[in-house]
């Protein structure tokens, strides 16, 4: 796991699996843990990283309901906050995150000291704000990758946590919802002015980005989705993300866009 302090009040840890990011954000004497790393040793190390950085974690936030972003409760026994849309997604399929985590662990021979228990998440207004110490985080709706979720703007650190968007390692991945492609393009439009103001953009997968690189990825993602809408499977992938794994995602995207 790679750990990087991008601001005195923001520390980003990147998992060895999927490059899933976890962001610790502090204001005064309180801190939140946004999303999570994946592997047991990484989760075990998180409280030590927080303590060494003088971050007292009082709550968790999850950008969306994908299982690999919900594991913070395995590191910190504190409340979990989610967007109303994420709470609805969790209620609609109880136990989905636990099942998907077990499937991952079975496939990769991973043993964990305890099962995942999410408790009853606190529902947050999105769009809206969430208090942290003397400050407030701005919560922005996102869609297209999943039917739920939020991006989080940390104004005092000019840091934008975007969930599974603007990734340097992963092309846009559409959910199965009707209209997902248009919803994803709308999300990019919402994120663009925030990314322009940011000093750091933290994608859900991949290393933290400066504003210039994040905006370049945003433009590439928009061009890809527009080409996907027009040309389907013939649409070219972003140049730096033409791996076999991303081609498989592209084929699923093309099928969903056609449907």
| pTM listed for this prediction | 0.95
pLDDT digits (tens, 9 = 90+) for 243-255: 999 999 999 999 9
Torsion angles phi and psi, residue 256, rounded to 5: -70, -40
Is 258 a residue whose pLDDT tops 90? no
Percent with pLDDT over 90 in the chain: 97
pLDDT score for 69:
97
pLDDT for the residue numbered 110:
96
Higher-confidence residue of 202 and 119: namely 202
DSSP letter for each residue of 30-48: EEEEEE---SHHHHHHHHH
pLDDT in tens, 216-248: 999 999 999 999 999 999 999 999 999 999 999
112-123: per-residue pLDDT in tens? Answer: 999 999 989 999
- The radius of gyration of the chain from alpha carbons, rounded to an integer in Å, stands at 17
Four-point Cα dihedral 189, 164, 159, 129, nearest 10 = 80
CB-CB contact of 237 with 249 (8 Å): no
Q: How many CA atoms lie within 13 A of 192 on its CB side?
A: 12
Is residue 34 scored above 90 in pLDDT? yes
pLDDT of residue 164: 96
Please state the domain extents for the chain.
2-258
Mean pLDDT of all residues in 145-160: 97
Q: Which single residue is written with the structure tokens 């099962």?
A: 115
**Of 78, 85, 149, 146, which Cα lies nearest the Cα of 118?**
78
Asked whether the beta carbons of 189 and 166 are under 8 A apart, the reply is: no
Tokens representing 215?
């905006």
Q: What is the pLDDT of residue 259?
A: 78
Domain 2-258, CATH class in plain words: alpha beta
The tens digit of pLDDT for each residue in 46-84 reads 999 999 999 999 999 999 999 999 999 999 999 999 999
> At 157, is the pLDDT very low, low, confident or very high (cuts 50, 70, 90)?
very high
Give how far Cα 166 sits from Cα of 12, 107, 172, Å: 16, 28, 8
> To the nearest whole number, what is the mean pLDDT of the chain?
96
- In this prediction, residues 95-123 reach a mean pLDDT of 95
């Amino acid at each position: 796991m790679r750990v990087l302090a991008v601001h005195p009040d923001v520390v980003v840890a990147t998992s060895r699996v999927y490059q899933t990011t976890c962001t610790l954000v502090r204001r005064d004497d309180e801190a939140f843990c946004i999303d999570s790393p994946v592997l047991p040793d990484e989760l075990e190390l998180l409280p030590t990283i927080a303590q060494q950085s003088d971050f007292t974690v009082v709550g968790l936030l999850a950008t969306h309901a994908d299982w690999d972003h919900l594991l913070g409760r395995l590191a910190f026994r504190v409340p979990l906050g989610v967007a109303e849309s994420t709470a609805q997604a969790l209620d609609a399929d109880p136990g989905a995150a636990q099942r998907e985590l077990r499937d991952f662990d079975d496939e990769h021979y991973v043993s964990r000291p305890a099962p995942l228990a999410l408790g009853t998440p606190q529902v947050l207004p999105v769009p809206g704000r969430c208090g942290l110490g003397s400050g407030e985080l701005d919560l922005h709706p996102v869609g297209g990758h999943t039917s739920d979720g939020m991006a989080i703007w940390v104004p005092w650190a000019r840091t934008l946590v975007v969930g599974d968007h603007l990734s340097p390692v992963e092309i846009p991945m559409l959910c199965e919802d009707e209209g997902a492609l248009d919803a994803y393009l709308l999300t990019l439009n919402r994120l663009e002015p925030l990314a322009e103001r940011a000093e750091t953009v933290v994608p859900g997968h991949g290393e933290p980005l400066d504003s210039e690189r994040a905006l370049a990825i945003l433009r590439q993602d928009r061009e890809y989705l527009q080409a996907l809408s027009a040309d389907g499977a013939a649409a070219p992938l972003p140049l730096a993300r033409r791996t076999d794994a991303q081609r498989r995602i592209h084929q699923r995207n093309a099928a969903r866009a056609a449907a």
